Amino acid sequence: MTAAATLHALEANRRFTDLKDAQARLKQAGRDLKAGVIDTDTYETETDVCQKIIRACQ
């Protein structure tokens, strides 16, 4: 595997990991809001961040 191919594979892996992490954070924020652990403002901030990450990774 060439250096360029290796770098491309590493970048693809990083994007996939970021995508899965953001999806998990989004689900957790929903559960936290339902449980009353976070307020609506915190939930909205978290979902905005997660949605931006998800869009960037797709």
**What is the residue-wise DSSP string for 1-58?**
--HHHHHHHHHHHHHHHHHHHHHHHHHHHHHHHHHTSS-HHHHHHHHHHHHHHHHHH-
Tokens for 29, please give them.
Answer: 């924020």
Position 56 scores a pLDDT of 95
Position 41 scores a pLDDT of 97
- Condensed to tens digits (0 to 9), the pLDDT of residues 18-33 reads 999 999 999 999 999 9
Position 58 scores a pLDDT of 85
- Condensed to tens digits (0 to 9), the pLDDT of residues 31-51 reads 999 999 999 999 999 999 999
Q: The whole model's pTM is what? A: 0.86
Position 25 scores a pLDDT of 97
